[in-house]
Amino acid sequence: MAFRCFSSLGAGKNTLVFRQLFDCVSSTYTYLLGDATTKKCILIDPVLELARRDFQLIKELNLKLIYAVNTHMHADHITGSGHLKRLSGCKSIISKHSGAEADILVTEGDYIDFGNHKLRVLNTPGHTNGCCTFCFEEHGMAFTGDALLIRGCGRTDFQEGDAATLYNSVHQKIFALPDQTLLYPAHDYNGLTVTTVDEEKRLNPRLTKSLHDFVHIMDNLKLGYPKQIDKALPANKVCGLYNLPEELKDGLS
């Protein structure tokens, strides 16, 4: 399977290991965040079919995976969390409002620690009830899941989607972050990799509108359902290990 990989070190802090990884099938970004000093690392939004790729990279970088974190219960792909738990012994994390099982359930104000670094959890519902944005204040970064996409946002026509709730989440939580905050989404369908709070406040074609107009836009997107939704939702409710396709069961034990 082909995939793109982008990598960089965090500005001015040589203890951060950061990789943006991509799944071409679902256009999902997986983020590897590691602490070079303690070797502890986490993955945000891993994809089942690429869990071995991610684990191999972690081993090559001499890191130890401690958490597989999901920004929400994904509808378009099966999370790699369950497989990574088996491969590495890490723990899974998701919002307590997601309706999904995980080893650790988080909510607003909680922190996800990895070595000398930590992410602050913001609840940003609207695409789903359990959508979180993870703020990495030390490096001016935030991982927005499907709440905010680059020049777009998560759809609100299934799971517990609610356009007004999403609008308020973005305006009150994500747009309240410093303007230069780098925003990393869970997907991009146009080849873009990162944006900023300032860019989206000025240029997002949906979220620059009034609440009324935003709701109208979201009610009329007319998107096709994600191709993998029927297998992804039941699997992701239990960390990705339910009803796995036969070909993916090989090598999991």
* C-alpha dist (Å) from residue 157 to 192, 225, 240: 24, 9, 23
Pick between residue 10 and residue 145 the one whose CB is nearest to ligand L3IBWBLD.
145
Residue 153: other Cβ atoms inside 10 A: 28
What size, in residues, is the chain?
A: 253
Euclidean distance between CA atoms 29 and 149, whole angstroms:
11
User: Which one-letter amino acid corresponds to residue 49?
Assistant: E
Tokens of 71: 């920004």
Minimum CB distance to ligand L3IBWBLD, residue 161 (Å): 9
Minimum CB distance to ligand L3IBWBLD, residue 166 (Å): 10
Minimum CB distance to Fe ion, residue 16 (Å): 27
Binding test (CB under 6 A) with ligand L3IBWBLD, winner from 154, 170, 200, 214: 154
Pick between residue 54 and residue 146 the one whose CB is nearest to Fe ion.
146
Site string for ligand L3IBWBLD, 134-153 (x = CB under 6 A): ------------x-----x-
Q: Which stretch binds ligand L3IBWBLD (CB under 6 A): 98-106, 108-116, 209-217, 220-228?
A: 220-228
Interactions with Fe ion, residue window 155-194 (CB under 5 A): none
Q: Which stretch binds ligand L3IBWBLD (CB under 6 A): 82-90, 107-115, 170-178, 221-229?
A: 221-229
Euclidean distance between CA atoms 189 and 215, whole angstroms:
22
Pick between residue 47 and residue 182 the one whose CB is nearest to ligand L3IBWBLD.
47
Residue 46 touches ligand L3IBWBLD, criterion: CB under 6 A: no
Q: Is 138 left (phi over 0), alpha (psi -120 to 50) or beta?
A: alpha
Euclidean distance between CA atoms 107 and 178, whole angstroms:
21
Burial 98-119 (b: 16+ CB within 10 A, else e): bbbebeebbeeebebebbebeb
Euclidean distance between CA atoms 96 and 94, whole angstroms:
7
Euclidean distance between CA atoms 79 and 64, whole angstroms:
19
3-state DSSP call for residue 170?
helix
Q: Which stretch binds Fe ion (CB under 5 A): 35-43, 88-96, 143-151, 223-231?
A: 143-151
Q: How many chain residues bind ligand L3IBWBLD (CB under 6 A)?
A: 12
Tokens of 162: 């609610």
Binding test (CB under 5 A) with Fe ion, winner from 49, 146, 162, 188: 146
Residues binding ligand L3IBWBLD (CB under 6 A): 26, 75-76, 146, 152, 154-155, 187, 223, 226-228
